[in-house]
Amino acid sequence: MRDIELSVRIGEHAWEKHDAQRLRLDLTLRFGLRDYNERHGGYVNYDPLRAFVEAMEDRPHTERIETLARDIIAACFELTPAERVELTIMKPDIFPEMKGVGLRYDVARADFST
């Protein structure tokens, strides 16, 4: 799932708490080919994950981008058989002198706990 753009209420600065701001996501799910084909028929239904991501626009204000990232990663593991999730999450409009700030995660299912 690439170039996802949402309008989300996020940020810990006072000036971020009034309006929603743009959030950009890139999300890659990784699967072991043999196990994936044998156990899951080589198919992923992205609709539940897409609905989860879109619903982020309706959630209450979240202070930290790390909280949103953790929730997205948890949803990936709950809603798909992915073995690994790569997530890039960025706030593109936060500072005028740069194109954005954000984080990149690469998390294995075995290493993730809620």
**Average pLDDT of span 75-94:** 94
| Count of Cβ atoms closer than 10 Å to residue 97 Cβ | 4
29 phi, psi to nearest 5 deg: -105, 135
pLDDT in tens, 87-109: 999 999 988 899 999 999 999 99
Please state the length of the chain.
114
* pLDDT at 35 exceeding the cut of 80: no
This prediction has a pTM of 0.89
Look over the chain and give the mean of its residue pLDDT values, rounded to a whole number. 91
* pLDDT at 42 exceeding the cut of 90: no
Which CATH number is 4-111 given? 3.30.1130.10
Query: Which pLDDT score is estimated for 92?
Result: 94
pLDDT in tens, 54-65: 999 999 999 999
